[in-house]
């Protein structure tokens, strides 16, 4: 995509004597790059575009640069990376050994180990991949699961949408770190540099998830005609033996749960209160014509030592889509993905038990904030 965009400006660059170089030419002479040092034991596996997201027990040889990176044991890419690339930032965050090796799968001693347990290390001397036993790998993996859980703070006292101009970094426990940090940038930078927008507090997500459901909603949210909240539904799901035993079942059930969130009814008072933020950009009111960018902001991303980069989706809400709540529910639903579950189940910096983090403590309350799309 970027190469095609560049092609459209190539003549203008040339006319202004702006020199340029493409990625292939830039890295043509580079066969190996050490991106993040470390070691790991795991199953060496070749990952192609479209393959399922590998797990923490996998030393992944990517034939491409993935747009999303879950929690893997080790990373080797056949395409060049840069130190500040998305994939390497995640590797540094998770202490994952990471290297670029040109045509690594064609190296005989590596090709022979694909599908086998290996010891993978990246250090100043280079990249080392050697055979290991399953017992060695399991012992190493067992020692790298977190023992103690860290529960991020949250505060539900703020209940109304707030302009970023009324917030600062200290509000991260009410609106999430991303929104709070953007708000703080607006406080310290010159006018017009930091983006302007609005934040929804955790309390709104919490109210939506706690709301009793049954009438006019899917029967799975009814229990002998008694209402079942979305919190209760996911709590039961996370306790389900089949859900915990099967990767395929987890993926299916989480997809179904995201659908429930996206189609769940929302109290009119909450919908109307959220709609008022559109007046920030279009004070004349309806019909609204401005596209708004809807993004996540939680208490478990953009933290010191944990960026959470790429965990949540963003959406552009178009006027023809109606009320903002449509896109907001899509962001809220984005909490409940297989990648997200796996990431926080294994993350050394946050939590070792997904159920405790999301259900028993209710500490994570996703919210969104809006940026004007220019």
pLDDT at residue number 344: 57
Domain with CATH 3.30.1490.20 in the chain: 162-372
**Across residues 182-197, what is the average pLDDT?**
89
pLDDT band at 146; cut points 50, 70, 90? low
Query: In angstroms, what CA-CA distances link 130 with 60, 62, 99, 113?
Result: 14, 18, 15, 8
- Taking only the tens place, the pLDDT of each residue in 52-63 is 778 778 999 999
* Whether the predicted pLDDT of 236 surpasses 80: yes
Sign of CA pseudo-dihedral 154, 158, 159, 163: negative
Take residue 159 and report the two structure tokens written for it.
């209940």
pLDDT at residue number 222: 67
**Cβ atoms 298, 363 nearer than 8 A:** no
pLDDT at residue number 366: 42
pLDDT at residue number 168: 94
Take residue 318 and report the two structure tokens written for it.
């178009």
- Taking only the tens place, the pLDDT of each residue in 69-111 is 777 899 999 999 888 888 888 888 888 999 999 999 999 999 9
Reference 233, options 248, 221, 216; nearest CA is 221
Which residue has 């708000």 as its token pair? 183
Q: What is the CATH number of domain 162-372?
A: 3.30.1490.20
pLDDT band at 11; cut points 50, 70, 90? confident
Beta-carbon contacts of 183 under 8 Å, excluding residues fewer than 6 positions away, are 164, 165, 166, 167, 168, 169, 171, 175, 199
pLDDT band at 195; cut points 50, 70, 90? confident
Instruction: State the Cα–Cα distance between residues 351 and 345, nearest whole angstrom.
Output: 6
Which residue has 């401005």 as its token pair? 290
Residue ranges of the alpha helices (H) in the chain?
A: 2-15, 23-26, 86-93, 108-111, 134-142, 172-175, 177-188, 202-210, 230-239, 241-245, 247-263, 268-275, 325-333, 338-346, 354-355
* Whether the predicted pLDDT of 211 surpasses 60: yes
- Taking only the tens place, the pLDDT of each residue in 252-283 is 999 999 999 999 989 999 999 999 999 988 99
Domain with CATH 3.50.30.10 in the chain: 2-142
pLDDT at residue number 217: 60
**Cβ atoms 364, 152 nearer than 8 A:** yes
- Taking only the tens place, the pLDDT of each residue in 115-144 is 999 999 999 999 999 999 988 988 888 777
C-alpha dihedral (44, 49, 50, 55), degrees to nearest 10: 30
Find out if CATH 3.50.30.10 is the number for domain 2-142: yes
Percent of the chain with pLDDT over 70: 82
pLDDT at residue number 251: 86
């Amino acid at each position: 995509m970027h190469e095609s965009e560049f092609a459209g400006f190539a003549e203008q660059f040339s006319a202004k004597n702006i020199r340029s170089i493409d990625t292939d030419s830039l890295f043509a002479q580079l066969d190996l790059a050490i991106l993040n040092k470390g070691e790991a034991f795991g199953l060496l596996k070749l990952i192609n575009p479209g393959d399922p997201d590998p797990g923490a027990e996998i030393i992944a040889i990517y034939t491409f640069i993935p747009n999303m990176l879950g929690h893997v044991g080790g990373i080797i890419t056949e395409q060049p990376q840069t130190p500040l690339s998305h994939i390497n930032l995640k590797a540094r965050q998770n202490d994952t050994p990471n290297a670029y090796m040109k045509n690594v799968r064609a190296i005989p001693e590596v090709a022979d180990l694909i599908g086998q347990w290996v010891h993978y290390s990246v250090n100043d001397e280079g990249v080392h991949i050697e055979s290991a036993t399953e017992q060695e790998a399991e012992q190493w993996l067992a020692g790298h699961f977190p023992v103690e859980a860290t529960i991020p703070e949250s505060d539900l006292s703020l209940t109304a949408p707030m302009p970023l101009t009324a917030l600062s970094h200290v509000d991260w426990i009410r609106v999430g770190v991303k929104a709070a940090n953007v708000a703080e940038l607006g406080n310290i930078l010159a006018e017009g540099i930091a983006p302007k927008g609005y934040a929804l507090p955790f309390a709104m997500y919490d109210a939506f998830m706690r709301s009793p459901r049954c009438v006019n909603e899917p029967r799975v949210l009814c229990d002998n005609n008694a209402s079942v909240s979305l919190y209760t539904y996911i709590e039961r799901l996370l306790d389900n033996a089949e859900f915990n035993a099967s990767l395929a079942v987890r993926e299916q059930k989480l997809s179904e749960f995201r659908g429930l969130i996206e189609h769940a009814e929302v109290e009119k008072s909450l919908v109307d209160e959220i709609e008022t933020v559109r007046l920030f950009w279009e004070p004349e009111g309806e019909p609204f014509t401005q596209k708004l960018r809807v993004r996540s902001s939680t208490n478990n991303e953009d933290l010191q030592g944990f960026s959470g980069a790429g965990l949540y989706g963003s959406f552009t809400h178009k006027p023809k889509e109606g009320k903002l709540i449509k896109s907001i529910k899509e962001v809220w639903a984005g909490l409940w993905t297989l990648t997200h579950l796996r990431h926080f189940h294994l993350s050394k910096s946050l939590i070792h038990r997904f159920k405790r983090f999301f259900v028993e403590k209710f500490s994570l309350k996703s919210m969104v904030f809006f940026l004007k799309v220019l």
